[in-house]
Amino acid sequence: MSLLSPFGALGRATLALMAVVGRVALFALTALSHVLRPPFYARELGLALLNIGWLSLPVVGLTAIFTGAALALQIYSGGARFNAEAVVPQIVAIGMVRELGPVLVGLMIAARVTSSIAAEIATMKVTEQIDALVTLSTDPMKYLVAPRVLAGLIVVPLLVAVGDVIGIFGGYAVATGSLGFNAAAYLKNTMDFLEPLDVISSLVKGCAFGGLAALMGCYFGMASGRGAQGVGRATKGSVEAAAVLILAANFLLTGAFFTL
């Protein structure tokens, strides 16, 4: 082994990473171009909206309510150290709307929807259903990918909005039920403190996370290897990639909205 071997290995790893980034970027551009160009498959879009949106509501709601409730308890006990217990409504609101609502919904969608999309498309690939689509004059990017990506872009911001509201309600329920806050004052403080930019950032993050989650599911599904192992790898890889990209995008979007 020469002294330069580690550099060679680093170079190969970098090139491999760049190749993956390039493939994902090309896939994303192709998918988005199909979102904008006919033909559109309304039934597939409807099913994707139902699966990503409506059927994710229970898990999103439960995640948000427990997070909001725990957040209220943490802020109350932490704030007590410097006599700032009264800021619970404001911090719960800003914490849920700006950060926890979008991120937790994004991660829940990555766990629930990205994995399901990747497994479904990978299984279709393994069982030659993707080839069958092509022979039936149907572009898989248009029929399978575009509706799911569009549904992610449309419906995840709505889920984030619902998650924000339920999370704030979780904080409200704990604060008024066991921490002695006045219900009307809690709601007033929440409403007064939130600014339009907080809500807009939340919805934009939801849109970005929904698109990323759906794209990763579709990409890993379409790029799946053979057999059950290929489907398993595609599913695992899609969730890992979606989660990391969502957290990275969250950092970038937070910086763009609140520090620039």
- 3-state per-residue secondary structure call for 137-165: CCCHHHHHHHHHHHHHHHHHHHHHHHHHH
Q: Please list, in sequence order, all residues whose beta carbon lies within 8 angstroms of the beta carbon of residue 257, skipping any fewer than 6 positions away.
A: 197, 200, 201, 204
Candidate residues 131, 197, 228, 251; the one interacting with another protein per rule CB under 8 A: 131
Stretch that binds another protein, among 52-60, 63-71, 136-144, 189-197 (CB under 8 A): 136-144
Contact call for residue 128 and another protein (CB under 8 A): yes
Contact call for residue 183 and another protein (CB under 8 A): no
Residue owning tokens 């439960």 = 62
Distance of closest approach, residue 230 Cβ to another protein, in angstroms: 15
Q: How many residues bind another protein (CB under 8 A)?
A: 14
Contact call for residue 40 and another protein (CB under 8 A): no
Distance of closest approach, residue 56 Cβ to another protein, in angstroms: 18
User: What is the spatial distance between Cα 86 and Cα 71, in angstroms, rounded to a whole number?
Assistant: 14
Burial code (b: 16+ CB inside 10 Å, e: under 16) for 30-46 equals: ebbebbeeeeebeebbe
Binding to another protein, residues 47-106 (CB under 8 A): 47
Distance of closest approach, residue 162 Cβ to another protein, in angstroms: 26
Contact call for residue 127 and another protein (CB under 8 A): yes
Cα–Cα distance list, 105 to 5, 14, 50, 61, 232 (Å): 43, 32, 16, 9, 23
Estimate to the nearest angstrom the gap between the alpha carbon of 176 and the chain centroid.
Answer: 31
Estimate to the nearest angstrom the gap between the alpha carbon of 250 and the chain centroid.
Answer: 10
Which among 27, 259, 9, 57 is positioned nearest to 165, based on CA atoms? Answer: 57
Which ranges of 39-100 does DSSP label H, i.e. alpha helix?
A: 42-52, 57-79, 88-94
Contact call for residue 45 and another protein (CB under 8 A): no
Candidate residues 136, 180, 196, 260; the one interacting with another protein per rule CB under 8 A: 136
Stretch that binds another protein, among 88-96, 103-111, 135-143, 233-241 (CB under 8 A): 135-143
Candidate residues 132, 185, 191, 256; the one interacting with another protein per rule CB under 8 A: 132
Contact call for residue 134 and another protein (CB under 8 A): yes
Q: Which is nearer to another protein, 5 or 135 (CB)?
A: 135
> Which residues of the chain form contacts with another protein (CB under 8 A)?
39, 41, 47, 124, 127-129, 131-132, 134-138
